[in-house]
Amino acid sequence: MASFNKVILIGNFTADPELRQTPSGISVCRFTLAVNRRYSRSNNAEGQNGSAQQTADFITVVAWRQSADFIARYFKKGRPILVCGQLQSRSWTDQQGAKHYSTEVVADEVSFVESKSDAAGAGSTGGNNTQYTPDAYGTPAYSNADTAANFEELPADDSLPF
């Protein structure tokens, strides 16, 4: 039987991410995301339609190695992030014999949701609000002298078979 376990989330950090190291020196970052649910209309006790309400789920995410370092460096409380990963459940017994269960997302990929200029405009970077524009996004420069040598002349459309 086939199985599939893929989680894609966009949410906001509820607190600054916590970066730690395992005894063998591997980075691990744990954080909680607030992910809004779609609006839903619910019926009240009398069976009448209630008003639309938005709720949020608070989801624990764990990232390892380079992803963990990336998150700890570039993300803070309140910032949005995109996380792709897998849902993982685990259980353990504490020293008092009580059984505990945890379900979390183990991140495979993480990414920015907003541009750097949006982040600077939000004021959470704590610095100046200068806008960064890489050279790759500038207006391209064209030169007709260089391109003419790279093209070959095609016969008129009358000679084409279609």
Query: Which has the higher per-residue pLDDT, 116 or 12?
Result: 12
pLDDT above 70: residue 156: no
CA Rg value for the chain: 26
pLDDT above 70: residue 108: yes
Residue 150 pLDDT: 64
pTM above 0.85, yes or no: no
Q: How far apart are CA 88 and CA 111, in angstroms?
A: 20
pLDDT above 80: residue 143: no
Query: Which has the higher per-residue pLDDT, 102 or 143?
Result: 102
Query: Which has the higher per-residue pLDDT, 96 or 156?
Result: 96
Confidence band, pLDDT 50/70/90 cuts, at residue 132: very low
Residue 53 pLDDT: 73
Output the average pLDDT for the chain.
80
> What value does the mean pLDDT take over residues 15-29?
95
Confidence band, pLDDT 50/70/90 cuts, at residue 54: confident
Residue 162 pLDDT: 57
pLDDT above 90: residue 21: yes
Give 30's contacts (C-beta < 8 A, 6+ positions apart): 17, 18, 20, 60, 61, 62
pLDDT above 90: residue 33: yes
Q: Is the dihedral of CA 139, 145, 149, 153 positive or negative?
A: positive
Residue 37 pLDDT: 85
